[in-house]
Structure formats: structure tokens, C-alpha cells
Amino acid sequence: MARYVTTDLHGCLRSFQHLVEHQLKLRLQDELYVLGDYVNKGPDSRGILDYLMQLLQRGYRVTCLRGNHDQELLDAAQGHAHLTWASAADRQLTLGSFGVEKPENIPSVYLRWLYELPYQLEVPGWVLVHAGFDFRLPPAEMRQDWHTMLNIKQFVFDASRLGGRRLVHGHVPTPVAEVQRRVSAHTGAIGLDTGCVYRHNPELRNLAAFNLDTEELLLQPNIEDDYPIGVR
């Protein structure tokens, strides 16, 4: 059995499929943890959700957490799109993948699936979350600060507040070379978002997967067909 973590798929379906089927060669006994941001920015938000649901239906041990973009899509579907969600081009790309013109019309099966996603997960040796924690808070409060878990971009890691466990998160696109450095250094907190969706940026444009047991880092380059995306 192997335990893998990846994150920030952002509609990059072909890249994610290739990672799962050809790099990880995922088996039914393996565990795959995905740390959120399935939707927005990339070409096929709906396709990502369909593929994850199919993996689960086929008996694969896949656990998905909630990301800030997943929350923003839920908010938009409830009529709050003006608060947080998406540029006009991003909005059109995402809604187009669902075949709708308004977020309120996204089929309920997808909204229910996103709504049921947890914010965090503990597995032996590790804590998994989309963005991170505010380690200045008392541990109990820190672990219920949902907004921070989805959105924080900088924090000072404190293993004592996670019961000695290390942390894996996503959310902040980080150059591949820096992620490789942190993995090699066995840092207490490892950010795995290598900005797959930013296909024009040579320092990013990869989907990273991390083996929790061997601490091996696997990289899947973006292999999507052409789509509009801002340069990061």
C-alpha cells in the first residue's frame, strides 16, 4: 500500500488522469489524498469532479478535502458570486465546463459533493489541509478556524500544535525547485501546489504528488489542450 497526496487540480483533467494512471499507477489498496481546489482557472472543472467521483465509485481509496475555490463555487451557486469568485474569463471557462450560464444552475450532484468535503484530515504522521493553520491560536481553536484553513498564505509552523505531526498543504503556487528543496530538507510543513494550471510559467506548470511514506516527490507536467489563463 502507498499513500499519496496531491492538490490544486484546477480543472486540469488530462494532467491529473495521467498522474493517477501512469505515474502513480494507483491501485485499489493505495490511498490518495487530494487537498482541494478542483475547480476554477483551468479547462475542465466538471471533468475533474466526474473523474474523482468515478474513482470513488470504482472502489479507489480517494479522500478529498475542501479548497478555497471549491468554497467560492459553492458561494457563487448560492448567489454570492460578487463576493469572491473568479475573473470574467475564469467564470466563463468554469461555467462552460458544466454547460450552464449561471452558477446557480450547476447540477446539484456537484454542489452536494463539494458541500460534504471536510476541511482537514489526520493520517498517521501527518495532518492534511488545503492552505494551513494560524499557529498563533490555541490548538482547539486553530483546528476550527475554517476560513484560515482555506485561505492562509503565510504561517509559522509549530508541530507541537499538531501533536507532533508534520503538515502537507496546497494553496500557494510555489516553484518546483523550492518544493523539491523543502521535500529534500524534510521540513515540518510541505506545500505541494506547484501551480499546474499556470501552463505558461516554466517555474510552475506541474502537478505534484508526494508519497507520505517514502517522501518521494512525483511531478506531472501540464498536458492540457490550449486554454486561457493569466500569467502568474
Digit-coded pLDDT (tens) for 151-199: 999 999 999 999 999 999 999 999 999 999 999 999 999 999 999 999 9
Distances (CA, A) of 106 to 63, 193, 198, 221: 23, 26, 25, 29
User: Residue 228: inside a domain, yes or no?
Assistant: no
Would you say how long the chain is, in residues? 232
Averaged pLDDT of the chain = 95
The burial of 88, by beta-carbon neighbours within 10 Å (0-12 exposed, 13-18 middle, 19 or more buried), is given as: exposed
Spatial strand order in the sheet of 166-169: 120-123, 126-129, 166-169, 189-191
CA dist 156 and 161 (Å) reads 11
Cell numbers placing 199:
501552463
Flag the least confident range among 85-89, 101-105, 128-132: 85-89
Structural domain including 177 reads 3-221
CA dist 61 and 57 (Å) reads 10
CA 121 to chain centre: 13
User: Residue 227: inside a domain, yes or no?
Assistant: no
Count of domains forming the chain = 1
CA dist 86 and 63 (Å) reads 26
Digit-coded pLDDT (tens) for 194-218: 999 999 999 999 999 999 999 999 9
User: Residue 156: inside a domain, yes or no?
Assistant: yes
Cell numbers placing 66:
475542501
β-strands 3-6, 206-211: how paired?
A: antiparallel
- Which residues neighbour 108 within 8 Å (Cβ) at sequence distance 6 or greater? none
Q: What is the CATH number of the domain that holds 60?
A: 3.60.21.10
Question: Scanning the structure block, which residue is given the C-alpha cell 485499489?
Answer: 28
Cell numbers placing 172:
500557494
The answer to whether residue 85 scores a pLDDT higher than 70 is no
pLDDT category at 80 given cuts 50, 70, 90 is confident
Amino acid letter for position 74: L
User: Residue 226: inside a domain, yes or no?
Assistant: no
User: Residue 168: inside a domain, yes or no?
Assistant: yes
Q: How many CB atoms lie within 10 A of CB 63?
A: 16
- What mean pLDDT is predicted for residues 74-95? 83
User: Residue 232: inside a domain, yes or no?
Assistant: no
The answer to whether residue 37 scores a pLDDT higher than 80 is yes
Question: Scanning the structure block, which residue is given the C-alpha cell 499556470?
Answer: 198
Q: Which secondary structure element, helix H or strand E, spans residue 15, and what is its range?
A: helix 13-18
User: Residue 154: inside a domain, yes or no?
Assistant: yes
- The pLDDT value recorded for residue 232 is 59
User: Residue 231: inside a domain, yes or no?
Assistant: no
DSSP annotation string for 60-80: -EEEE---HHHHHHHHHHTT-
- Computed over its alpha carbons, how large is the radius of gyration of the chain? 17
- The pLDDT value recorded for residue 144 is 97
